[in-house]
Amino acid sequence: MSDFTFGSLPHKDLTSIAQLSTAEVGLIFDTAAELKKNRRQHDALLKGRKLAMIFEKDSLRTRFTFDVGMQDLGGHAVFMDHRDARIGARESIRDVAKNLERWVDVVVARTFKHRVVTDLAESCSIPVINGLSDYLHPCQALSDFFTLHEKWGGQVAGRKIVYVGDGNNTCHSLVHTAAKLGAHITVCTPEGYEPNSKVVNEAMREAVSTGSEVVIVSDPHKAVEGADAIYTDVWASMGQEDEVEERNAIFLDYQVDEELMALANPDAFFMHCLPAHRGAEVTAGVMDGPQSVVFDIAENRLHVQKAILVLLLNK
């Protein structure tokens, strides 16, 4: 029987990795590792607790892993589908929050506008977790770096991660997390598709104390030299469907193929948050090749999100 002692996060919510300290990211990783190793031993940690999942966007990984995660921990999840009428359309976000806090113990929101997540958090007395917004994807990035933490025996600091593609919400949270952990991150995008300057500035300020390096470039071949991991994402996110053709042309030279992977370190990992479009941002050979850890990351979404739930509710 495990003698692991579960701690707690001092924050009510988790809407951004920027709010976490390096030690708190480490606490999430330690908790996730325990929950993964001794999955059957902690099936009553959240017994009787209830999770509301508010989703404006389609989802496979976020929906399943939070739902299964609550079941694993002895709790229950209720799914609220807002794909047809976004939250705040029928009644105010504040009123939604004030109702939910009377019925459930924690909320996960997967939204278009980041402001919806922060408004929910500000209006709720219970924890709100950002399951994805147009600005950030914190649960994904924590799962990405937890996977690297596992693969590299906990030695993430000083490693070079290169993100190739659109400077989107996933990219923003990767930059935040790399800076917290002392990893070096290079973001390589076409001109005009760089990550948000606020995110980059936040990460650079953090990097002063952690030894991280945050670099923004446009040449993918130079960017990936010496990389320990190469990461990409779709070129057009949900809500940008009308830009697909234009973006495919602009990002053509940013495909992660076998040639680009060969410029990285021989043991470099390939990473993707999924869903992936083979033949677009990544070739099938790389996506399904021996260096790919994409499904390890998908598995770890379950354990990392369980850790977040436990640490927010274990007050």
Catalytic: which of 63, 149, 301, 303? 301
Is position 301 annotated as part of the catalytic site? yes
Q: Give the pair of three-digit tokens for residue 248.
A: 């495919």
Tell me how far apart the alpha carbons of residues 72 and 39 are, in angstroms, rounded to a whole number. Answer: 8
C-alpha dihedral (177, 179, 185, 190), degrees to nearest 10: 80
CB 166 within 8 A of CB 189: yes
The torsion region of residue 7 among left (phi > 0), alpha (psi -120 to 50) and beta comes to beta
With the C-alpha atoms ordered 276, 277, 280, 283, is the resulting torsion angle positive or negative? positive
Q: Is 139 a catalytic residue?
A: no
SS3 176: helix
Which of 110, 114, 159, 176 does the annotation list as catalytic?
Answer: 110
Q: Is 171 a catalytic residue?
A: no
Which among 63, 82, 137, 172 is annotated as catalytic?
137
Q: Exactly one of 233, 255, 272, 303 is catalytic; which is it?
A: 233
The one catalytic residue among 105, 255, 273, 303: 273
At residue 194's C-alpha, the angle toward residues 267 and 145, to 5°, is 40
Annotation says 221 is catalytic? no
Helix (H) or strand (E) holding 300: helix 294-313
Asked about 155 being catalytic, the answer comes back as no
Instruction: Given the residues 13, 140, 166, 303, select the one marked as catalytic.
Output: 140
Task: Indicate the angle between helix axes 294-313 and 61-72, nearest 10 degrees.
Answer: 50
Which of the residues are catalytic? Answer: 110, 137, 140, 233, 273, 301
